[in-house]
Amino acid sequence: MAAASLSFIIGIIGNVISILVFASPIKTFWWVIKKKSTQNYKGVPYITTLLSTSLWTFYGIINPDGLLVMTVNGAGAIFQLTYVILFLIYAPKDKKVKTAKLVAVLDVGFLGAVIAVTLLAIHGNMRLTFVGILCAALTIGMYASPLSAMRTVVRTKSVEYMPFLLSFFLFLNAGVWSAYAVLVKDIYIGVPNAIGFILGSAQLILYVMYKNKSVPSKPDEAMEEEGSAHLMKGGIQMHSLEENLNNRSLNKGKSLPKPYIDRQYSFQKIIKTLSLSPYELQSSRPPHESDVEGGNPDQL
């Protein structure tokens, strides 16, 4: 009786944390809506999580003790469906087509086939076993899906595209549901969440390692001001050169001709000055934006 009460309490805590996990990408999609672009975010994690939560909801329905599993995953399926729809709206055309095909195959075709086979071809306790194995496999896939983001973090030394809140709540969620699975002796919940706990720990370690190592890009305003300053400097140099030429012309008209060697030296000096000015202008040009931003793109 005490174990059942404890498992129920932990299950409620797991429900709350799971809702926070499902809600954590809201900030990400708020920026997607604001910028009207998915940028480098990937849609695969949301698609696989939609499939996973939908199957877990079905698992909770056919499981006599699956009320907590059914409620939290039903809510999660609604969250994930919203994210997938927003991704399809704001993704680039080529990515939008690929995402739509993946949604049709996994979240419509595969999910429908599993439900149909379970209800029509499988009977008794084998239904729970069949759906439980599929749910466990997909949950492992959900927890493993941020591996691509982890590779990006290691490659770019930036955690820009691995949101901290999502990684933290995945870690916490996996730990609580692992404890719940031990209490209710449900291997289908326990195994994938234990793996998720390990992967969540790895994400937090990466975040701590690289959170202060991102290479900031130079502000555009600073680049513009620097460019303007260099161009102004070049303009002053050319203007000064032009004044020197004019003054020399005036002095040449008012004074007696100088020896040929002096005029030749002056001419060479002018040629040298003219040859240096364009080089100075070229060398003072601000760096290209792509060079500045070279230091540096699901989350779930």
Q: Which of 87-91, 147-151, 204-208 has the lowest mean pLDDT?
A: 147-151
Question: Residue 215 domain-assigned?
Answer: no
pLDDT digits (tens, 9 = 90+) for 174-188: 899 999 999 888 999
Return d(Cα 201, Cα 207) in angstroms, integer.
10
Task: Give which of 161, 165, 164 is closest to 152, Cα–Cα.
Answer: 161
- The token duo for 16 is 């709350």
Beta strands in the chain (DSSP E): none
Same-domain check for residues 47 and 141:
yes
Give the number of other Cβ atoms within 10 Å of residue 183's Cβ: 17
Question: Residue 124 domain-assigned?
Answer: yes
Distances (CA, A) of 27 to 32, 63, 70, 83, 146: 9, 34, 26, 11, 17
Query: For the chain, how many structural domains are there in total?
Result: 2
pLDDT digits (tens, 9 = 90+) for 73-98: 999 999 999 999 999 999 888 888 99
Same-domain check for residues 112 and 239:
no
Check residue 157 and give its pLDDT: 80
Same-domain check for residues 64 and 200:
yes
For 212, counting Cβ atoms within 10 Å of its Cβ (0-12 exposed, 13-18 middle, 19+ buried), the class is exposed
Q: Which of 167, 187, 210 is the last residue of a domain?
A: 210
pLDDT digits (tens, 9 = 90+) for 99-133: 999 999 999 999 999 999 999 999 888 999 999 99
Question: Residue 251 domain-assigned?
Answer: yes
pTM: 0.63
Question: Residue 142 domain-assigned?
Answer: yes
Same-domain check for residues 150 and 183:
yes
Per the document, the length of the chain is: 300
131 and 55 Cβ atoms separated by less than 8 Å: yes
Question: Residue 300 domain-assigned?
Answer: no
Same-domain check for residues 140 and 287:
no
Same-domain check for residues 251 and 281:
yes
Check residue 45 and give its pLDDT: 79
Same-domain check for residues 188 and 238:
no
Specify the amino acid at residue 241. L
The whole domain housing 166 covers 2-210
pLDDT digits (tens, 9 = 90+) for 31-78: 889 988 887 788 887 888 899 899 999 999 999 888 999 999 999 999
First to last CA, the chain: 36
Same-domain check for residues 182 and 241:
no
Return d(Cα 80, Cα 219) in angstroms, integer.
36
Give the number of other Cβ atoms within 10 Å of residue 214's Cβ: 15
Same-domain check for residues 61 and 189:
yes
Same-domain check for residues 60 and 172:
yes
